[in-house]
Amino acid sequence: MTDSMQQMALDTLGAYFGYTSFRPGQDRMVDAILAGRDALGVMPTGAGKSICYQVPALMLPGITFVVSPLLSLMEDQTRALLAAGARPSYLNSSLTPAQQNTVLKRAREGRYQLMYVAPERLLEPRFLAFAQEAAAEGGIGVPLVAIDEAHCVSQWGQDFRPAYLQIREFIDSLPQRPIVAAFTATATERVRADIQQILGLQNPATVVTGFDRKNLYFGCEEMGDKAKTAWVRDYVIAHSSESGIVYCSTRKTVDALAGELAEALGPSGIRVGRYHAGMGNDARRQSQRAFIDDDIQVMVATNAFGMGIDKPNVRYVIHNNVPESIEAYYQEAGRAGRDGDPASCHLLWNGNDFRMRRFLIDRGDAADEALDDEQRAWALQNRYRLLSQMEGYCNTTGCLREYMLRYFGDEAAAEHAAVGGAAADEAEGCGNCSNCLTQFEVEDVTGMARAAVRYVATRPMRFGKSLIADVLHGGNTERIRQMHLDEDRGYGELSSESVGRIKDIIGQLCGRGYLATSQGQYPVVGLGPRAGEVEDEAFAFTVKRRASKRKASARARRAVDLLREEAELDQRPRVGDDAELFERLRALRKEIAAELEMAPYMVFSDKALRGLCRLRPQTRDELIQVNGIGEKKADAFGEQFMAAIEEFESEHARDGA
């Protein structure tokens, strides 16, 4: 890798994407690929994986194949690359046979730098013949095969796609082996090893970037089902000019919540969309497009929504229900704030969510049909394990960011979050999650803990948390009378405590290994490995209790705040208010996008608009100083935006005079 190559990569990044530097990890991936090495990039959602293969693809002669399972991503990225002045294409089942012919014909002529292709297509005779011809001596050349969502090759992951197993065969059948680069946001060792082995990566440069997404605020709140709906409604109203996603665990919940929100928010002019696999293809497409084009502000959806949607300015992601795992949560929540600006992720949960999840696990998965009994049992156990880690997230009083980063094995970042990323702030820990912004009181509940463990010791693996709590509280329910539990030792021992509180303590005892729960939809409580310790004299059990909030909730800084902050950084005098200009440029962006049938963010990102407000360029040279504006876009849209700025300034100059 020579300096001049590096410079060329930077130039390419600037010319097409308008960025001045690579993000951490991107540079190493690009370097490796340009040096002819296979590469494996493990980066969280929003880290900027696509740049890693797009920049080399735009530099290297020939056509790069990008294997992706996501039709919508292929289309979006092709549109975005076209807008940036590149020559991309895609080939998938959404094209008619005639269109596919045209694409292949043009590809043969060497008209494309890049082709997105679905994995199912790779071994199809016509495509394979084209690829082999291209990679052969004297052909147009295939310098690189990039594999997106590479974890789909692993049966240990959550999104196994059998067609991914064909990728290896495809690569091996090419007359000259291209460089192979694989990308995933899934970090576990097992999946990583599978990717390398099954795809046949040869001594790959492996780049694992930190998993911390510093611009994301994480909030986690326990509340009843009704309270959730009201919370979501109020939140959306308070953020009406922003884009957001609300995830629910079932289609039914999506329909119900979307209906309620539409009714409540309609009068404020907020448009609510919905998306789940039960809707027809067209309806889903329309819904997704409306969201990307900023015609819908809030999308209520199951996890079927969002894979492959690169909408950079999603400002919040609310989970109305508990997802199946920390991986799933981090990926879904991570769709907020891809542009790097502050954004918020909220998880609203209650016991019903976990019951529902256990029900779904017990019911099994259609994909499990292919497994034998042993594998199925393993898969079931694995899902319970993943869910219990999610339960830990909901119940922890420690830093939420730290919890997740540790889960992903990013110890360095977890450590950093724990000791305080928020230097200037009086808040503890990362300073940007609900637990770090909440003050807890430590309370000694050793007596309660002992009573609970002792009672369970007399009746291990018999009852669920609720019944145990009822007995300890001394409840007078029919069930208790029928089963004569009011004669048990321990009955009413904690009569001064509420049932809810006792249940809470039992939950924490389970979490810390003094008690343990069985699996299944109706788990029963038994003794945990540490149960014996409670009889030690020195045994002490404390819990943290929410005392007061230091801050209501850290509201992510919004466009206007950011404009103000950026304005303070450079003291240049300016005419008129940046926020007002921002709104005007935003409207212009929407107009241009509608005319060209592009998504607004493909014209300019929010960040680029802010740059325009701050720098107020008057020439093309000044224009491309703005981060996010490359040469092609400067030529395509620059005039219109500079004219709008000039008009704005002359209006305000008149006002001022």
Task: Indicate which single residue of 25, 46, 56, 139 sits in contact with ligand ADP (rule: CB under 6 A).
Answer: 46
Among all residues, whose Cβ is closest to ligand ADP? 48
Rank residues 427 and 585 by Cβ distance to Zn ion and give the closer one: 427
From 91, 135, 174, 436, residue interacting with Zn ion (rule: CB under 5 A): 436
Residues in the chain: 657
Nearer to ligand ADP, 228 or 338 (CB): 338
- DSSP string covering 157-212: SSS--GGGGHHHHHHHTSSSPPEEEEEES---HHHHHHHHHHTT--S-EEEE----
| Calpha distance 40→577 (Å, rounded) | 46
Tell me 543's DSSP state: E
Does 339 participate in binding ligand ADP (rule CB under 6 A)? yes
Among ligand ADP, Zn ion, none, what does residue 47 contact (CB within 5–8 Å per kind)? ligand ADP
When asked if residue 617 is in the footprint of Zn ion (CB under 5 A), the reply is no
Interaction partner, residue 436 (Zn ion, ligand ADP, none; CB < 5-8 Å by kind): Zn ion
Contact characters 260-299, ligand ADP, x per CB under 6 A:
----------------------------------------
User: SS3 sequence, 434-499?
Assistant: CCCCEEEEEEECHHHHHHHHHHHHHCCCCCCHHHHHHHHHCCCCHHHHHCCHHHCCCCCCCCCCCH
Q: How far is the CB of 77 from ligand ADP (least distance, A)?
A: 8
Q: Which one of 29, 30, 32, 49 is in contact with ligand ADP (CB under 6 A)? A: 49
Contact positions with ligand ADP (CB under 6 A) in 10-29 = 19, 22-23, 26
Task: In angstroms, give the least distance from the CB of 585 to ligand ADP.
Answer: 18
Enter the tokens of residue 459: 């009746």
DSSP string for 289-323 = HHHHTTS-SEEEE-TTS-TT---TTEEEEEESS--
Residue 357 vs residues 325, 353, 428: alpha-carbon distances, Å = 10, 6, 32
Residue 88 sits in the site that holds ligand ADP (CB under 6 A): no
Q: Does 312 bind ligand ADP (CB under 6 A)?
A: yes
CA distance 319 to 122: 36
Q: Which is nearer to ligand ADP, 26 or 320 (CB)?
A: 26
The least distance separating ligand ADP from the CB of residue 589, rounded to whole angstroms, comes to 15
Give the chain's radius of gyration (CA, Å): 28
| Residue among 59, 114, 246, 430 that touches Zn ion (CB under 5 A) | 430
Determine how β-strand 243-247 pairs with β-strand 144-147: unpaired
> Do residues 125 and 148 make contact, with C-beta atoms less than 8 angstroms apart?
no
Listed ranges 49-57, 435-443, 448-456, 484-492: which one lies at the site for Zn ion (CB under 5 A): 435-443
399 binds Zn ion, rule: CB under 5 A = yes
Task: Report in angstroms how near the CB of residue 463 gets to ligand ADP at its nearest.
Answer: 46
Say which residue the tokens 């305080």 belong to: 420
**Residue 184, φ and ψ in degrees, nearest 5:** -155, 160
- Cβ atoms of 494 and 472 closer than 8 Å: yes
Is 516 near ligand ADP (CB under 6 A)?
Answer: no
Residue 49 binds what, of Zn ion, ligand ADP, none (CB under 5 to 8 Å, by partner type)? ligand ADP
Helix (H, G, I), strand (E, B) or coil at 650: helix
* Phi and psi torsions of 552, nearest 5°: -50, -65
Residue 436, both tokens: 């770090």
**Residue 401 sits in the site that holds Zn ion (CB under 5 A):** yes
Q: Which of ligand ADP, Zn ion, none binds 401 (CB below 5-8 Å, type-dependent)?
A: Zn ion
Binding region for Zn ion (CB under 5 A): 399, 401, 429-430, 433, 436
Chain residues binding ligand ADP by CB under 6 A are 19, 22-23, 26, 43, 45-51, 310, 312, 338-339
